[in-house]
């Protein structure tokens, strides 16, 4: 965020200005987006209960493993 930019009046008091100062709002926006994705996934019941809905393996079938010999 360089001095005299369009977003400088909004963010310069919190993040500062100069070389590299624009990375701080990028990290904040990205972390808020990831927080929304994570909490949205937690609030979606099909995704929250996927470990109970989809089994890990077939209980009745025995898997064959190839022998190395």
**Domain presence at residue 39:** yes
**Domain presence at residue 8:** no
* Segments forming the whole domain that contains residue 46: 26-50
- Give counts: helices (H), strands (E), the chain: 4, 0
**Domain presence at residue 44:** yes
**Domain presence at residue 20:** no
**Domain presence at residue 10:** no
Determine the pLDDT at residue 33. 97
16, 10 contact by CB (below 8 A): no
Rounded Cα distance between 31 and 24, Å, is: 11
Report percent pLDDT > 90 for the chain. 22
pTM of the predicted structure, to 2 decimals: 0.59
Model pLDDT for residues 7-19, shown as the tens digit of each residue = 788 878 888 888 8
pLDDT above 80 for 69: no
**Domain presence at residue 61:** no
Please give the tally of structural domains in the chain. Answer: 1
């Amino acid at each position: 965020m360089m001095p005299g930019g369009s977003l400088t009046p909004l963010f310069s008091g919190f993040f500062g200005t100069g070389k590299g100062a624009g990375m701080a709002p990028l990290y904040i926006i990205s972390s808020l987006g990831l927080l929304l994705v994570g909490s949205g996934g937690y609030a979606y019941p099909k995704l929250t209960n996927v470990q109970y809905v989809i089994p890990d393996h077939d209980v009745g079938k025995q898997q064959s493993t190839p022998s190395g010999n």
